[in-house]
Structure 1
Amino acid sequence: MRVDVVRSLALFVLAAVAEIGGAWLIWQGVREHRGVAWIGAGIAALAAYGFVATLQDDAHFGRILAAYGGIFVAGSLAWGIVVDGFEPDRYDYLGSAICLLGVAVIMFAPRTA
């Protein structure tokens, strides 16, 4: 079970880096006028995100995407801190923690069947 949890979380983190990074690259290419190469790299990263999401063990697309949403929220704030110098306030942190709690409940709560 522990290996499954670690693997699942690692895949979520990899998916978040690909999706958030891809969106950021496109943002840089368009909004910051860095060019088509940045946009192309962003598109490739977003495609990688779509692939990584399929590697989760759970076969339910809705569950995986719903749980990933919480990772995306926390990951987006972390990306902003590390890459863009964003300074979250206590409500950003609280909201992120609530989302991560939701991930734990959705993905790792014991199920009967």
Structure 2
Amino acid sequence: MDVIRSLPIFILAGLCEIGGGYLVWLWLKEDKPWWYGAIGAVTLAFYGVVATWQTSNFARVYATYGGIFIVMSILWSMKFDNYSPDKYDIAGALIALLGVCIIYYAPRQ
């Protein structure tokens, strides 16, 4: 089934993109050591590889990553930045997630 195969790949890609970007952010914005940026850059490059593991076409894969990353970035910020989403953040994330599920998992011929 597509969901069982694709969802872990989406999550891994999200962790690579958000985690790598977060490390670069910490390096440049919060004066962490240079190696934070180096590890972040390698992690971001690995994200590009992970994305190719999906079986659908480029447009659907990257559109779907966008919505999943919205949700994951809110969760990441809650965990690592003490961020508290408001009702509009939550509503927007749920709408995005619904949209990408339709884009990626709708039955097609």
Matched, 1:89 2:93: no
Identity %: 46
TM-score by length of 1: 0.94
Once the two structures are superposed, the pairs formed by residues 54-73 of structure 1 within 5 Å of their partners are 54-58=52-56, 60-73=57-70
Shift of 1:96: 0.4
- The runs of 5 or more residues in structure 2 that have no matched partner are none
Counterpart of 1:57 in 2: which secondary structure? coil
Taking only aligned residues, the RMSD between alpha carbons, in angstroms, comes to: 0.7
Counterpart of 2:15 in 1: which secondary structure? helix
- The runs of 5 or more residues in structure 1 that have no matched partner are none
Q: 1:95 corresponds to which letter in structure 2?
A: G
Equivalenced residues, count: 109
Once the two structures are superposed, the pairs formed by residues 90-105 of structure 1 within 5 Å of their partners are 90-105=87-102
Counterpart of 1:10 in 2: which secondary structure? helix
Counterparts of 1:8 and 1:37, CA distance in 2: 31
Question: Which position in structure 2 is the counterpart of 1:107?
Answer: 104
Shift of 1:68: 0.7
Matched, 1:76 2:35: no
Q: Out of 16, 21, 24, which is 2:22 matched to? A: 24
